[in-house]
Amino acid sequence: MTANPYETDLDANPANYEPLTPISFLARSAAVYPGHTAIAYGDRSHTYKETYARARRLASALKAKGLKEGDTVSIMAPNIPAIYESHFAVPMMGGVLNALNTRLDAAALAFILDHGDCKLLMTDREYSSVITEALSLAKSNPIVIDIEDPAAVGGEFIGEMEYEEFLATGDPEFNWSGPTDEWKAISLNYTSGTTGDPKGVVFHHRGAYLAAMGNVISWTLPKHPTYLWTLPMFHCNGWCFPWTITAVGGTHICLRKVEATAMYDAMQRFQVDHMCGAPIVLSMLINTTDENKAKAPHGIKVMVAAAPPPAAMLAEMDDMGFDVTHVYGLTETYGPSVCCDWNTAWDEKTVEDRAALKARQGVRYHAVAGLEVMDPETMTPVPHDGNTMGEVMLRGNLIMKGYLKNPKTTTASFEGGWFHSGDLGVVHEDGYLELRDRSKDIIISGGENISTIEVENVLYGHPKVLEAAVVARPDEKWGETPCAFLTLHDGEAATEAEIIDYCRENMARFKCPKTVVFDELPKTSTGKVQKFVLRERARNL
């Protein structure tokens, strides 16, 4: 048998093959839009040409410090230029970017610095105290670079050089080369982990490239968007948006602190047209003054993910003139990887029905090869009846490389050729899926599954309720019963009976909370309610 001619003398070579990497987006935007503003932060701004030169300086400075391919570079910073630049500079010299969650305590940071084998750490002055403590706890001994930002509150320099000074040692014409293999690691993101040690999710160049392309296509991002950052870049690499917005030559608008007034001021000043945010950010936009609300240009496109936002919140955003797209993803899927593609036939529905539809999911990004809701025991898809719950599973090019130094969990999460998300959902007749809960959050009462998200959605419909979180409370008779933790709008008061009555009018009786607690909700840095804290409180009631 002769060789197939399609496989003969037709090999990859430098002319027709290059490993995919999102670093290329910065080089391209610097070449074709050199004068366009890449990033604006307070009164600073940098064009693409400047940002590219700064990133090349940083890459070459890191290399000169002895960093080499496969080395981990950590950064502790809010959304300021240094962390944006690091998303390109660190992989440019072959390093792996590990952006640290700024709300972690010293012990957690020390664990991450050691587990990720950090070789160099850049840290914003404001965090010098917790970082100093973390370094004293950690076994690793990284080179430390301080980042000075006049807006930082307190702290002091603890490293050997300041960031701008460090940049000045670098070469703005540094001749970087992309990865030799697109499967090489580009970043390391520790999941916020509500229990146990954090897991280090490893991204590769190929996945980051395809995730950025996916954000552009699924959101129909035009060229040159003006994008307001609310999501921390340290969270899942800001859902890959440092790369995404750069790919389309957009302008990154950064804020050191995410507050309603700061966000609305930036929307007005920069005429923002796109932003992403967790439901907590939507809540901040909704619960503010009319003066603030008047500042927003009409029709800002908002991508919202994390927990499924309550329908009432989506309806309110719609009323305010924001154009919300609901997406779904996890750190393990490079952030958003499934979106609620709007069906124009839904335009004529009521605002409530539209919001309920908007909370659904189902349209996978192009690079996601498969999306199913399955019984994890049998790996068979659930019926499309809008009722039978199963675990959301995904596979394809938007799934992480795996968990660092954790083969057991990596293997378990990829069992059967699918990534097991740990999220529970149902599939509707039209094929759209609706998330119901994290598998560990589900309440089993008298043998019936109760979705805490479903109960929360009803609670959000109550006019006095600002925030709601529902968890299981142990019960001798039923096994578990729903327990609701609520905060109310300013100046409002409510009784437990009033809330329970409202629930009974709006949902099946067995799903109604048996207990209602009015109390502040504990949250992670990304605004997710820490249900494990609430479960503990419910247990001790």
Residues that bind its own copies (CB under 8 A): 4-10, 12-18, 20, 24-25, 28, 31-32, 34, 70, 96, 117, 183-185, 202, 207, 213, 216-217, 220-223, 247-248, 341, 362-364, 366-367, 369, 395-397, 399-402, 404-405, 407, 410, 413-414, 417-419, 431
Token pair for residue 155?
A: 């702290």
- What is the smallest separation between the CB atom of 137 and its own copies, expressed in angstroms? 21
By the 10 Å C-beta count (0-12 exposed, 13-18 middle, 19+ buried), 427 is classed as buried
Report how far residue 300's alpha carbon sits from residue 285's, in angstroms, rounded to the nearest whole number.
12
- What is the smallest separation between the CB atom of 402 and its own copies, expressed in angstroms? 4
Report how far residue 334's alpha carbon sits from residue 365's, in angstroms, rounded to the nearest whole number.
11
- What is the smallest separation between the CB atom of 239 and its own copies, expressed in angstroms? 18
Q: Which is nearer to its own copies, 381 or 522 (CB)?
A: 381
Q: Which residues of 266-287 are buried (b: 16+ CB within 10 A; e: fewer)?
A: bbeebebbbbbbbbbbbbbbbe
Report how far residue 405's alpha carbon sits from residue 39's, in angstroms, rounded to the nearest whole number.
35
Q: Which is nearer to its own copies, 136 or 220 (CB)?
A: 220
Please name which of 214, 225, 205 lies closest in space to residue 23, comparing C-alpha atoms: 205
Q: How far apart are the first and last CA of the chain?
A: 76
- What is the smallest separation between the CB atom of 29 and its own copies, expressed in angstroms? 10
Q: Which is nearer to its own copies, 79 or 325 (CB)?
A: 325
Token pair for residue 325?
A: 């797209």
CA angle (148 as vertex; 142, 150 as ends), nearest 5: 160
Q: Which is nearer to its own copies, 398 or 512 (CB)?
A: 398
Q: Which is nearer to its own copies, 72 or 481 (CB)?
A: 72
Q: Which is nearer to its own copies, 28 or 464 (CB)?
A: 28
CB 125 within 8 A of CB 132: no
- What is the smallest separation between the CB atom of 303 and its own copies, expressed in angstroms? 15
Strand, helix or coil for residue 469: strand
- What is the smallest separation between the CB atom of 22 and its own copies, expressed in angstroms? 10
Token pair for residue 4?
A: 């197939």
Q: Which is nearer to its own copies, 230 or 397 (CB)?
A: 397
Token pair for residue 70?
A: 């496969």
Q: Which is nearer to its own copies, 366 or 438 (CB)?
A: 366
Q: Which is nearer to its own copies, 202 or 276 (CB)?
A: 202
Q: Which is nearer to its own copies, 14 or 299 (CB)?
A: 14
Report H helices in 309-380.
311-319, 351-358
- What is the smallest separation between the CB atom of 417 and its own copies, expressed in angstroms? 4
| Backbone φ and ψ of 284, nearest 5° | -65, -40
- What is the smallest separation between the CB atom of 19 and its own copies, expressed in angstroms? 9
What DSSP string describes 57-97? Answer: HHHHHHHHTT--TT-EEEEE-SSSHHHHHHHHHHHHTT-EE
What are the respective helix, strand and coil percentages of the chain, to the nearest 5?
35, 25, 40
- What is the smallest separation between the CB atom of 118 and its own copies, expressed in angstroms? 12
Q: Which is nearer to its own copies, 357 or 471 (CB)?
A: 357
Q: Which residues of 331-341 are buried (b: 16+ CB within 10 A; e: fewer)?
A: bbbbbbbbbbe
- What is the smallest separation between the CB atom of 388 and its own copies, expressed in angstroms? 19
- What is the smallest separation between the CB atom of 52 and its own copies, expressed in angstroms? 14
